[in-house]
Amino acid sequence: MKLTPYVLREMLDITQADFAALFGVHAMTVSKWERALLIPSDYQQQQMELLNAGWMRIPKEDHETWRQVIKRTPLRAFVGISAMGLI
């Protein structure tokens, strides 16, 4: 399955507003991504891939805790944590 903004957001179980905050965009931008009216930049798509890779390493029983972290943490910090192998 292709990783789309919608697929990733639903997997993370976060709102469009929370997803938008991660990427520093407006919630309407996320809505447009999900409806294929806009396409995330290459950089944003790469960040989504890294976020997905980090999420997949988190044990399912820890997902709720990490959802709360994601909602409060800039994406670059979460991706950095993931890249270092800390999760």
- Full 3-state SS string of 48-65: HHHHHHHHHHCCHHHHHH
Q: How many CA atoms lie within 13 A of 4 on its CB side?
A: 15
Q: What is the overall mean pLDDT for the chain?
A: 85
Is a pLDDT exceeding 60 seen at residue 49?
A: yes
| The pLDDT value given to residue 82 | 56
In the block, tokens 């044990």 appear at 59
Split at pLDDT 50, 70, 90, the class of 16 is: very high
In the block, tokens 């890779």 appear at 53
Dist. CA 35–CA 50, nearest whole Å: 22
Q: Are 24 and 72 in contact (CB under 8 A)?
A: no
